[in-house]
A and B are shown apart, each in its own frame.
Chain A
Amino acid sequence: MPQPSSDAELMALIDRVGRRDETALRLLYERTSPKLFGLAMRVVRQREWAEDVLQESFLTIWRAAADYRSTLSPPLAWMGLIVRSRSLDFLRRRTADRAQLTQEFDELMAETFESDAANPMDTADASEQAWALHQCLSRLEGRQREVLSLAYLRELSHGELAEQLKLPLGTVKTWIRRGLDKLRSCMQQFA
């Protein structure tokens, strides 16, 4: 089990990657790939697809590392954004039939609901911000948390969420608004 890496260590590795250090990329991969692969799996659902996404993500990381510092993001958050973007690109490129997409969505929904509720987070291995987010998300009502997670992971609009969850548009908007509001006041305490 690899040692948990501090933000400072990861940022130093990303800097080295920006200077074309391949060893640094391998070290970065070893320390972060399980979490990033887990994220890719959450969004695209199938292992082979998640592998493609992870490969494309690391190529993007290799290309963009030199500009990382200007993003002001914590390292895993930056890498997570890349993985999420590549995952969503992948899903958009696929010409899947609606039935399969709906089934994947249902599975994603079920997992979201259980995992965020009862996930004892490994606190030694998380950035402060992730810990804060985890705390604040767990204080939301299940439905609000579900809808926020789905909106983020799958980048769905209000209308798409309403359609997939079979809810009135107004209800979805209200849940998101209330959820974001609670999230905001909670996270401001941690700021």
Chain B
Amino acid sequence: MNLHAHPQLLELLAASHALGTLRGGARRRFEALAREQAPVRAAALVWQSRLASMAELQKPVVPDAAVWTRIRNLIAAEQEQEAIARQRTAPPPEAPARGGWLRSLALWRSAAAAGALATVVAAVIGLDLSDRLRNAPAVQYVAVLSDDQAAASMLVTFDPKKRQLVLQRVGSYREGEDKSLQLWALPPGGAPRSLGVLGRDPALKLTAQEADVRSVPALAISLEPRGGVPSERGPTGPVLFKGALIEKTL
């Protein structure tokens, strides 16, 4: 169809398309024409843009602060997923003959939070955990949770045999007497799910199923009133530490 000869009709079609009232076969035909002919595409874009200005005409309503918290968590989970995807496509290092768990930390250097991980390796060795870790259970999931300055603060491992999440504080952060730290799983595209409230010991264990950590790209720790908050509401306090949950490949 030669729409050049019918400018009024082109305008009406482009406007109807942007409005949403152009349907079915007519819509598909118009879109095909828009792909082939630049003037049709131009009219379509002009109208789409005009009507989209209706967005600005709405009465503003300020959303609750919790909405931004949830968006930030969604973005964090998205980024960790991208980091994991990049790590998986990175070439594997030469397989070490010995050294086991600590040596495999070399795999993490290609991840986005390389700085934080280097800090953790130093911290872990410094804390003389190396002996204990060599005799560690066969852990499959590991996470390093860091703060906004990429300083590592919590080491998290999941032991599927004992069905436990083991957390180790490696930073100097201590929550106040009236506060508790709460651990959250950040599943992709979903709301954060509480994995438990942390006690005040340097090393803690939380009961968990493998289902709780499988396909969860990231974990986060938020600062909550003492005793924590119910899972459904999501974190109410600030997220202090977060990090990618990495499935360790042996």
Contact = CB atoms under 8 A, between A and B. Distances in A.
A41 B54 contact: no
A116 B53 CA distance: 13
Interface in A13-65: 20, 22, 25-26, 29, 33-39, 41-42, 50-51, 54-55, 58-59, 62-63
B60 A34 contact: yes
A26 B55 contact: no
B173 interface: no
Interface of B: 11-12, 15-16, 19-21, 23, 45, 48-64, 67-68, 70-72, 74-75, 78-79, 189
Contacts, number: 147
**Chain A interface: which size bin?**
35 or more
Contacts of A22: 72, 75
Contact of A130 (B48, B56, B63, B70): B56
Contacts of A129: 49-50, 53
Nearest to B112: A20
Contacts of A35: 55-56, 58, 60
Nearest to B69: A55
B85 to A, nearest CB: 14
A83 B55 CA distance: 9
Interface in A115-174: 115-116, 119, 121, 126-127, 129-130, 132-134, 137, 148-149, 151-153, 155-158, 161
Given A35-B58, A184-B15, A133 B21 contact: no
Interface in A84-134: 84, 115-116, 119, 121, 126-127, 129-130, 132-134
Contacts of A72: 45, 49
A29 B60 contact: no
A29 B62 CA distance: 11
Q: Which DSSP category, helix, strand, loop or mixed, fits chain A's interface?
A: helix
B78 A126 contact: no
Nearest to A88: B20
B53 A127 contact: yes
A2 to B, nearest CB: 10
B238 to A, nearest CB: 14
Contact of B55 (A33, A39, A41, A59): A39
A162 B58 CA distance: 24
B78 A37 contact: no
Nearest to B51: A152
A42 B58 contact: yes
